[in-house]
Amino acid sequence: MSDRPNGLDRLLGYVSAHLPDESKNEPKRLTPEEIDRVRTELSNDLLAFAELMTPVFDHADGIRADLVRRRWSPQAAEQIALIWLVNTVQSIFGARA
């Protein structure tokens, strides 16, 4: 087994802004306190992201339900709602970039 940084080390490194030096075989090891802090920050950020995205997902569900109520097939309604959702999410993140 290699001592190079694994996926978790890299993820925690990116999140905590402590990137391991890939030219060395010695990854930076986070202390338990740093790991707890990074996990807390990541959890809080994911919760905030989910809260911000909830209205978008709810609207896509509303589009699907409205189309089904108008006698569209459930498969077609799902496909249209999915296309709307993908385009909306792309435009949200495209606007921030």
pLDDT digits (tens, 9 = 90+) for 34-53: 889 999 999 999 999 999 89
The answer to whether the predicted template modeling score (pTM) of the entire model surpasses 0.75 is no
Distance CA 85, CA 96 (A): 17
Give the pLDDT mean for 66-86. 97
Identify whether 89 is part of a domain. Answer: yes
Residue 30, SS3? coil
> Which class for 1: exposed (0-12), middle (13-18), buried (19 or more C-beta within 10 A)?
exposed
Q: What's the CA gap between 14 and 54, in Å, rounded?
A: 26
Which two structure tokens, joined as six digits, stand for 10?
Answer: 């890299």
- Tell me whether residue 88 is in a domain: yes
Residue with tokens 């209205």: 55
Rounded to the nearest 10 degrees, how much is the dihedral formed by the CA atoms of 83, 89, 93, 94? 30
73 falls within a domain? yes
Whether 60 is in a domain gets the answer yes
Range of the domain at 55: 49-96
pLDDT at residue 95 tops 80: no
Q: How many separate domains does the chain show?
A: 1
